[in-house]
């Protein structure tokens, strides 16, 4: 099986959906944020705080290059991978890129109260989501082979939809 790469905004369900998708397909699940946390032995929040965003982005790009070597995996990415065109180009080589599209309101419901995401920690998180979505949605769309609308759907439905579209 070709790898499946899940992309989408923070809180769009990439990790939850990826875990179940990999289980149903009987393949390995790799979560890029978790890999980076394991390598660095620091949380994403700590890496952003002490080393800065560019350092984290470099780790992300390097991990994507390593993932060019793997097969038969479901890979969940961090929401910012599409910020670098080189990442998009490599993700397309790694496998089928599935964009989990979520509306701003749904994203806010998922992430509100969660203080682990360094880019969504301002006073007006809904406004931050709106601004970042406007910047990033075109990039997710340009990277995607398959687009899944997640709003109002259960995790099971989304996973089954992905499987039928592969």
Both tokens assigned to 83: 């910020």
The two structure tokens encoding residue 130:
């709106």
> Token pair of 128, please?
């931050």
Site string for ligand S3P, 92-131 (x = CB under 6 A): -------------------------xxx------------
Residue 59 or 96 having the CB closest to ligand S3P: 59
| Cα gap 85→43, rounded to integer Å | 25
Q: Which residues contact 33 (CB under 8 A, 6 or more apart)?
A: 15, 44, 76, 78
Phi-psi region of 122 (alpha: psi -120 to 50; beta: other; left: phi over 0): beta
Q: Which of residues 19-38 bind ligand S3P (CB under 6 A)?
A: 33
CB of 56 to ligand S3P, least distance (A): 7
Calculated CA dihedral for residues 82, 88, 90, 91, nearest 10 degrees: 70
CB of 13 to ligand S3P, least distance (A): 10
Residue 10 within binding range of ligand S3P, rule CB under 6 A: yes
Q: Which is nearer to ligand S3P, 1 or 46 (CB)?
A: 46
Q: How many other CB atoms are found less than 10 A from the CB of residue 79?
A: 21
Site string for ligand S3P, 39-78 (x = CB under 6 A): -----x---------------------------------x
Which residue ranges make up the site for ligand S3P (CB under 6 A)? 10, 14, 33, 44, 78-80, 117-119
């Amino acid at each position: 099986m070709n790898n499946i790469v899940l992309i989408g905004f923070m809180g769009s369900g990439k990790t939850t959906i990826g875990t179940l998708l990999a289980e149903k397909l009987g393949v390995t699940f790799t979560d890029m944020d978790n890999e980076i946390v394991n390598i660095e032995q620091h949380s994403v929040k700590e890496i952003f705080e002490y080393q800065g965003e560019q350092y984290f982005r470099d780790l992300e790009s390097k991990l994507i290059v390593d993932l060019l070597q793997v097969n038969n995996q479901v890979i969940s990415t961090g929401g910012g991978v599409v910020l670098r065109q080189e990442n998009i180009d490599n993700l397309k080589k790694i496998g089928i890129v599935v964009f989990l599209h979520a509306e701003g309101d749904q994203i806010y419901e998922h992430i509100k109260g969660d203080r682990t995401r360094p880019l969504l920690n301002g006073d007006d998180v809904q406004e931050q989501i709106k601004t970042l979505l406007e910047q990033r949605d075109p990039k997710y769309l340009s990277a995607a082979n398959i687009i899944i609308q997640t709003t109002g759907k259960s995790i099971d439905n989304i996973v089954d939809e992905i499987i039928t579209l592969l």
